[in-house]
Amino acid sequence: MAKAKPHKGLLKRVKVSASGKVMRHKSCAGHLMSGKSGRRCQRLRRKTSLGGQLAANVLRAIRGG
C-alpha cells in the first residue's frame, strides 16, 4: 500500500498552533469590505479555531494518515 500523503490544499488554509489547535481564517473577508462595518472587519481579521471531530479530521488529513 502507498504511503499516505498530506492534503496540500488544506495545509495552505489552516495552521496548527503550538498547543495543537487547528487555526483558520474567517470567511467573507476577501474583498468588498467597504460595505461592512469597521467592527465586523476587525472580527474578520482575527483567526478562529476548529473544534471537535472537524479538527480531528483536519489533523488526520494534514498528517497524512
- CA 45, chain centre distance (Å): 13
DSSP state of 19: T
Which CATH fold would you assign to the domain 8-63?
A: Factor Xa Inhibitor (4.10.410)
10-60 confidence digits (pLDDT tens):
999 999 999 999 999 999 999 999 999 999 999 999 999 999 999 999 999
pTM, entire model: 0.81
pLDDT band (50, 70, 90) for residue 64: confident
**Residue 1: per-residue pLDDT:** 85
Q: Is 28 exposed, middle or buried (0-12, 13-18, 19+ CB in 10 A)?
A: exposed
8 pLDDT band (50/70/90 cuts)? very high
The domain limits of the chain are 8-63
In angstroms, the Cα distances linking 20 to 4, 15, 49, 60 are: 21, 9, 10, 13
